[in-house]
Structure 1
Amino acid sequence: MRGSTLVRAALIGTALALALLPARAAEPIRIGELNSYKAQPAFLEPYRKGMELAVNQINAAGGIAGRPLELITRDDGGNPGDAVRVAEELVTREKVDALTGTFLSHVGLAVAGYAAKRQVFFLAAEPLTDKITWSDGNRYTFRLRASTYMQVAMLMPEAAAAKRKRWAIVYPNYEYGQSAAATFKKLLSAAQPDVEFVAEQATPLGKLDAGPVVQAIADAKPDAVFNVLFGPDLAKFVREANTRAALEGVFVVSLLSGEPEYLDPLKAEAPVGWVVTGYPWYDIVLPAHKAFLDAYQGAYGEPPRLGSVVGYATIRSLAAGFTKASAAGGIDAERMIAAFKGLEVTGPFGPFIYRASDHQATMGAFVGTTAVKHGMGVMTGARYVDGASVLPSDAEVKALRPAAD
């Protein structure tokens, strides 16, 4: 009897001790993120901060069905081969539940191909190539940012209204630049049949020799230029054009050049009067943006960049997808695909959806004109263009996206 009593007492004591232990933490949802951090720090360091802000907010609010988000980031080396190797490590070693990220278009396409082969859900955050959701689209890949086609279409009203006949084009010679140039020529020719393209400069990414490029454009005597350069290449181009006065009186339309990542380094040398897509964070009055701006500045003590918005909206999109998939029974790739088709998300620019037809998000962008104020480049007269307004119809997508699903 005495032994039996002691055993019972020990069992009760053990049960009480276990009851007093903290509850075992729920298994985290692991997000595998890969990007060209070393190659493109101006955009991707703010992007990383935007992701971290969203993860912290979501986890502070209880996570996804009680499960915290865990973000695992890797550098993809800025090239497709390294990116695929990194993606494989994230999937096989880190056991991530979904992949996201990539910046350069050819890298994004490589990871999208990997996702299709390995049947892993992939949210392409930044790569702009149209191929990723159209000709090379697959059921496992969705894309957040407004595509090359979308952003060119956003600029088209101003480009066509300028009624300039002789256009020169300059772009980085890889997938993003090539597709942007081709789309611009196609859309402008449709809007203005008498247009002439008198010069085309395709430059190596990150290795622009600005002098000869600017001189070749000047020698062609265009009355308008379509620019697709970004980052250090854009800065070199603008400074050389300023030095040579090569673009005086020339109308310029430019992708991405209103983004603070690329405009801020130019300071007072920033171009004046260019029509651009970008991010005038200082002039946006949307309630969703005000909440994001306050939270970001509170966390980091600095204003956001467009990369910050993309990083934040990426995690918010994944969280919405995880929530919807969890309610349907789990966060495997097939349930994530089903969740993302028609998924509604609210980001810093307000609500948007992921279209079921081509897996493209309708998050838009701002179009405005560059100016210099207080010694810094800014966007003026900016207007928000809803991404849905510049996308082809679902019926048209069927021809653009053959048998992707």
Structure 2
Amino acid sequence: MAEHQRPTRRDDMQPYDRAMPLGDPGESVRIGALVPLTRPGWVQAGRHLLAGLESAVRDVNDGGGIAGTPLELVVRDTAADPRQAEAAVEELTRLGVAALAGEYHSVVARAAATRADALGLPFLCSSAVLDALTDRPTDWVARLSPPQSRGWQVYADFLLRAGRDRIAVAAEPSVYWASGARVLREYVTPRGGSVVELDARALSPAAVCDELVDQRATVLLVLAGLPDPAVSIVRSVRRDPRLAQLLIGAPAGQPEFTEWAALLGVDGAGIPFLRYLPERLTPLGARVGAALREHLAEAPSFVAFEGYDTVTLLAEVLRAHGTDRSRIAAPWPRAAADGTRGQIRFSRVPGIDVWQWAGAPIQVVDRDPAQPDRLRVLHTG
């Protein structure tokens, strides 16, 4: 929420009035929230992330806030733009927020984390997985979602166990997609598999199909944006009789959201993706999930739970250590909270320069072809 009133919704998909005047910061404890709410950002993921953040703020305030002071969100739309995110971090720093939360897109989160580190603003990243979230080790940044190297290795293990060792990736140019392809290659090559990269921007969907046949691929991973070229590639592969036995995968999680199902229908089922949920939610998670389902009018994605857990953890730190920024970041290694998906604790993970929840759950899931609105757990890691 912006200061003293709920954000104004508008019909032009610009959900927040960035020029809204701010009240006295002493009247609330404010957390800045970075969320992709307009295109080219993944708007549905942003909507779920914000729903989780806002739901947790309501629960914190219903429980007495932060030592009796209400907790408040100051939301800024990143629109999947790193420069817009950097500007938002600078603005939120000037506005006096105690900490920063959120973001879904990895490249945007990296820009925000780097700027937050430089400005001395504590940042708890909710949902971005890029390993290199900052350029150097930092005590200012912590993260809930598992690093890409861990999640995508779990996904690669699933593929190898299923006998899908000739992997083709149809990728758009991106640091995030390139990092994922590298993780896959480094994991599967020593185990007898192979990874070939296809340029999803340069090749037409029909040409992608021809390459898959030529390469004798057993799986195609779609590392590309939604709706296009991802939707066009999936449709072309599904309609090519030469590729009837090919498995399509989308490790970045596009099939998690109803937009995928609405665009692709049954063609979008049976496509494994990564989801960061446990086998069973905690009792808190079950209660929160029911509330989020009612608010969103659809099943909440793992991103919504990440948003809720972000505020839950920050509230515990604020209650225990106060609102001074340096005192918020210092306790990351001692911070703990019972979240919707288990107990959250941070540690230093080799190769990761931010404080990391090492126990974040990981699943490989798909939509059931017989019932596309039902998700099936195929593998856990």
Q: Considering the TM-score relative to the shorter chain, is it more than 0.5?
A: yes
The aligned residue for residue 88 of structure 1 is: 90
How many angstroms apart in 2 are the aligned matches of 1:279 and 1:136? 26
2:114 matched residue in structure 1: 113
Q: In structure 2, do the counterparts of structure 1 residues 137 and 40 end up closer, same or farther at CA, with 3 Å as the change threshold?
A: farther
Give CA-to-partner distance per residue, 1:298-331, whole Å, 9 cap, x none: 44544212331122122112212212322xxxx2
Moved more, 137-146 or 24-33: 24-33
User: 1: distance between equivalents of 2:329 and 2:375?
Assistant: 37
Aligned equivalent of 1:42: 44
Q: What letter is aligned with 2:207?
A: P
Task: Look up the match of 2:169.
Answer: 169
Q: 1:324–1:339: 8 Å Cα contact kept in structure 2?
A: no
Amino acid in the other structure paired with 1:343: A
Query: Aligned with 1:88: secondary structure?
Result: helix
**Is 1:52 the equivalent of 2:47?**
no
| Alignment match, 1:380 | 376
Summarize the Cα distance change of 1:208–1:116 in structure 2 as closer, same or farther, 3 Å threshold: farther
1:103 CA displacement = 2.3
One-letter amino acid of the structure 2 residue matched with residue 333 of structure 1: R
Equivalent of 1:289 in 285, 297, 315: 285
| 2:196 paired with 1:195 | no
> How much does 1:367 deviate?
1.9
- Mapped to 2, the partners of 1:25 and 1:125 lie a distance apart of 24
TM-score (norm 1): 0.77
Letter in 1 for 2:76: R
Aligned-partner Cα distance in 1 for 2:240–2:316: 50
Q: Which deviates the most, 336-345 or 207-216?
A: 207-216
Higher fraction of helix: 1
Is 2:31 aligned against 1:31? yes
2:227 counterpart of 1:232? yes
How far apart, CA to CA, are the structure 2 residues paired with 1:323 and 1:210?
53
CA offsets 1:183-218 (integer angstroms, 9 cap, x no match)? 01101123x1x3233x312445xx995343344333
* Aligned partner of 1:69 among 68, 71, 74: 71
Distance between the aligned counterparts of 1:247 and 1:166, measured in 2?
13
Structure 2 residue corresponding to 1:78, chosen from 58, 77, 80: 80
Contact kept in structure 2, 1:296 and 1:304, CA below 8 Å = yes
> What is the CA–CA distance in structure 1 between the aligned matches of 2:362 and 2:225, rounded to whole Å?
16
1:321 to 312, 317, 320: 317
Q: Residue by residue, what CA displacement relative to the aligned partner does 1:70-104 show, whole Å, maximum 9, x if unpaired?
A: 10111123222221112111111x22111122222
Instruction: Tell me how far apart the structure 1 counterparts of residues 274 and 64 of structure 2 sit (CA, whole Å).
Output: 36
C-alpha separation in 2, matches of 1:160 and 1:384:
14
Distance across 2 between alignment mates of 1:294 and 1:126: 21
User: CA 1:47 to 1:285, structure 2 compared with 1: closer, same or farther past 3 Å?
Assistant: closer
Equivalent residue for 1:303? 299
Offset of residue 136 of structure 1: 4.1
Q: Compared with structure 1, are the counterparts of its residues 215 and 288 closer, same or farther at alpha carbon in structure 2 (3 Å cutoff)?
A: farther
Work out the CA distance in 1 between the residues paired with 2:76 and 2:125: 15
The 3-state SS of whatever aligns with 1:304 is coil
Residue segments in structure 1 that go unaligned for 5+ positions in a row? 1-23, 386-405
Instruction: Identify the residue that residue 329 of structure 2 maps to in structure 1.
Output: 337
- The percentage of counterpart residues that share the same residue type is 22
Alignment pair present for 1:149 and 2:159? no
Q: Is the 8 A contact 1:105 1:128 kept in 2?
A: yes
Whether 2:139 is the aligned partner of 1:139: answer yes
Structure 1 counterpart SS, 2:313? helix
Give the TM-score normalised by structure 2: 0.81
Shift of residue 332, structure 1, vs aligned partner: 2.2
Partner of 2:347: 355
- State the alpha-carbon separation in 2 of the partners of residues 102 and 25 from structure 1: 23
Q: Which amino acid aligns with 1:365?
A: I
Kept in 1: contact 2:171–2:177 (CA 8 A): yes
Unaligned stretches of 5+ in structure 2? 1-23
For 1:301 and 1:146, how far apart are their aligned partners in 2?
A: 27
Report the 3-state secondary structure (helix = DSSP H, G, I; strand = E; otherwise coil) of the residue aligned with 2:318.
helix
Equivalent pairs counted in the alignment come to 348
Return the letter of the residue paired with 1:308.
A
Deviations 1:350-384 (A, max 9, x none): 2232224541123222223442234x254324555
Choose from 266, 269, 272 the match for 1:268: 266
Partner SS, residue 131 of structure 1: coil
Q: Once the two structures are superposed, what CA deviation does each residue of 1:8-47 show, in whole Å capped at 9, x if it has no partner?
A: xxxxxxxxxxxxxxxx997311111123210211211121
Q: Distance in 2 between matches of 1:117 and 1:101?
A: 18
Distance 2:299 2:374 in 1: 14
State the SS of the aligned residue for 1:63. coil
Q: RMSD of aligned C-alpha atoms? A: 2.8
Aligned match of 1:213: 208
Q: Which has the larger radius of gyration?
A: 1
Closer, same or farther: CA 115–286 of 1 in aligned 2, 3 Å: closer
